[in-house]
């Protein structure tokens, strides 16, 4: 069999582990692998690279993706999906493995509907993809958030300051909640639960009055106080999948910092963690998860099951329907937020 592979959307630590998993498992099954560069862009423009075991040696230890990535949306390009079909035909690809989040896998599913043999692998630091317990990249990213909070605590304590930490997550607060819990943030604000800045300020003042004269406020970039602007957009620009671009200018972190300082008089600083969260080498968990998902993707291809995704369910890597993954975003359940709230203040 001839497998095609591409990586789309924001990069995530573990992409290279999946690529290596696919190539090594494919070679051992007597198959060929061709990579398409820059996500769907490469599949439209027919930009390819031939992959073998030598090309992927040890890449699982590196962050990013050796295939490059883009947010190209073929549905916004004239005959985009048809052109991908043509490219696959020209290269004699039997099965296309797409590594991505909701957007990339949504395109894969549409190609599947058009008769292309597609398999998805769930990638996103946001962990907001349905049909899998975890996406790869999330574990590495929350470790980065945790490290940042650990570091911010020592400087916050020394200066008796409030530190507002803005964390990625436009629609789902997994990273803010898990990274915040791991780092021991004193308030965590997620897009799933609207917050009230006055309540945050009251909690901070109480904390200072009780002698704990510093605080970390972890806020997801998509968190909303309806009393402030409905959404604090960083940019009027949207990407080709229609998402507003957060994290590149004045966002909720800075707005909240100003409000806290004005309303409480407490000295406050803010930090936008931004793309640091996605960078660096993958955690052990993501290296192993990525490897297992890559191997499984080839096995699904061999089984002949179309429009599936390799997913983590409990401790097992299984095949699920691709449509199940792209239907609805997986947001943080109320129970998780309640657990975190026990430790606020």
> Exposed (0-12), middle (13-18) or buried (19+): which is 301, by Cβ within 10 Å?
buried
Cα dihedral 333, 334, 335, 336, rounded to 10, equals 60
Q: Which of residues 270-329 bind ligand F6P (CB under 6 A)?
A: 278
Candidate segments 107-115, 118-126, 251-259, 320-328, binder of ligand F6P by CB under 6 A: 118-126
Q: Which stretch in 199-207, 239-247, 251-259, 286-294 sits in contact with ligand F6P by CB under 6 A?
A: 239-247
Cβ 126 to ligand F6P, closest distance in Å?
Answer: 5
Is 251 in contact with 221 (CB distance < 8 Å)? Answer: yes
246 in contact with ligand F6P (CB under 6 A): yes
Distance CA 324, CA 2 (A): 26
Which residue stretch of 79-87, 121-129, 143-151, 319-327 sits at the interface with ligand F6P (rule: CB under 6 A)? Answer: 121-129
Closest contact distance (angstroms) between CB of 266 and ligand F6P is 28
Residue of 103, 126, 128, 225 with catalytic role = 126
**Closest residue to ligand F6P in the complex (CB):** 10
Measured from the CB atom, the residue of 125 and 326 that comes closer to ligand F6P is 125
CB-nearer residue toward ligand F6P: 44 or 220: 220
Shortest separation between residue 199's beta carbon and ligand F6P, angstroms: 25
Q: Taking CB under 6 A as the rule, which mask of x and - marks residues 6-25 in contact with ligand F6P?
A: ----x---------------
Structure tokens given for 317: 């890597």
Of 295, 291, 292, give the one whose Cα is nearest residue 316.
292
Query: CA–CA separation, 99 vs 18, rounded Å?
Result: 8
**Least Cβ distance, residue 337 to ligand F6P (angstroms):** 18
CA angle (296, 297, 303) in 5-degree steps: 85
Measured between alpha carbons, how far apart are the two ends of the chain, in Å?
57
Q: How far is the CB of 170 from ligand F6P (least distance, A)?
A: 5
Q: Is 139 a binder of ligand F6P (CB under 6 A)? A: no
Q: Does 192 bind ligand F6P (CB under 6 A)?
A: no
Q: For residues 209 and 70, what is the distance between their CA atoms, to the nearest angstrom?
A: 49
139 in catalytic set: no
Tell me whether residue 13 or residue 169 sits nearer to ligand F6P (CB atom). Answer: 169
Q: Nearer Cβ to ligand F6P, position 10 or 122? A: 10
Question: Which residue of 17, 93, 125, 332 would you call a contact of ligand F6P, by CB under 6 A?
Answer: 125
- Tell me which residue of 129, 115, 262, 290 sits closest to 201, measured CA to CA: 262
Query: What token pair was written down for 166?
Result: 């803005």
Which member of 126, 166, 225, 286 binds ligand F6P (CB under 6 A)? 126
**Structure tokens that stand for 79 in this block:** 């005959």
Q: Is 100 helix (H, G, I), strand (E, B) or coil?
A: strand
SS3 state of residue 164: strand
Question: Which phi-psi region, left, alpha or beta, contains residue 251 (left: φ > 0; alpha: ψ -120 to 50)?
Answer: beta
Using rule CB under 6 A, residue 124 touches ligand F6P: yes
Shortest distance, position 164 Cβ to ligand F6P, whole Å: 17
- Using rule CB under 6 A, residue 170 touches ligand F6P: yes
Footprint of ligand F6P on 216-235 (CB under 6 A): 221
Shortest Cβ 141–ligand F6P spacing (Å): 8
CB crowding 43-68: b at 16 or more within 10 Å, else e: bbeeebeebeeeebeebbebbbbbbb
SS3 for 219? strand
Residue 19 to residue 35: CA distance in whole angstroms: 9
Residues forming the active site: 126
Site for ligand F6P, rule CB under 6 A: 10, 124-126, 168-170, 221, 239, 246-247, 278
């Amino acid at each position: 069999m001839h497998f095609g592979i591409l990586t789309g959307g924001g990069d995530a630590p573990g992409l290279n582990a999946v690529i290596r998993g696919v190539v090594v498992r494919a070679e051992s099954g007597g198959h060929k692998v061709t990579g398409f560069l820059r996500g769907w862009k490469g599949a439209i423009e027919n930009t390819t690279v031939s992959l073998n075991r030598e090309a992927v040696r040890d890449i699982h230890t590196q962050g990013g993706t050796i295939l490059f990535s883009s947010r190209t949306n073929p549905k916004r390009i004239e005959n985009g999906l048809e052109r991908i079909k043509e490219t696959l035909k020209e290269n004699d690809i039997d099965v296309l493995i797409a590594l991505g989040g909701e957007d990339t896998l949504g395109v894969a599913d549409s190609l599947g509907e058009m008769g292309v043999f597609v398999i998805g692998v769930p990638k996103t630091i946001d962990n907001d993809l349905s049909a899998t317990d975890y996406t790869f990249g999330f574990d590495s990213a929350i470790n980065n958030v945790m490290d940042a909070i650990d570091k911010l605590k020592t400087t916050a304590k020394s200066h008796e300051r409030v530190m507002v930490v803005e964390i990625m997550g436009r629609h789902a607060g997994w990273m803010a909640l898990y990274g915040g819990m791991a780092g021991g943030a004193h308030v965590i604000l997620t897009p799933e639960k609207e917050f009230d800045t006055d309540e945050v300020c009251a909690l901070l003042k109480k904390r200072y009055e009780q002698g704990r004269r510093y605080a970390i406020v972890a806020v997801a970039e998509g968190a909303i106080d309806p009393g402030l602007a409905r959404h604090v957009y960083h940019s009027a620009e949207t990407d080709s999948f229609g998402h507003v671009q957060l994290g590149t200018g004045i966002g909720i972190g800075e707005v909240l910092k100003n409000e806290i300082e004005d309303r409480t008089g407490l000295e406050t600083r803010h930090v936008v963690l931004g793309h640091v969260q996605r960078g660096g080498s993958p955690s052990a968990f993501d290296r192993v998860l990525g490897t297992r998902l890559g191997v499984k993707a080839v096995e699904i291809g061999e089984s002949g099951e179309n429009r599936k995704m390799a997913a983590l369910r409990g401790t097992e890597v299984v095949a699920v329907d691709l449509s199940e993954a792209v239907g609805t975003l997986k947001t943080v359940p109320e129970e998780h937020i309640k657990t975190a709230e026990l430790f606020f203040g």
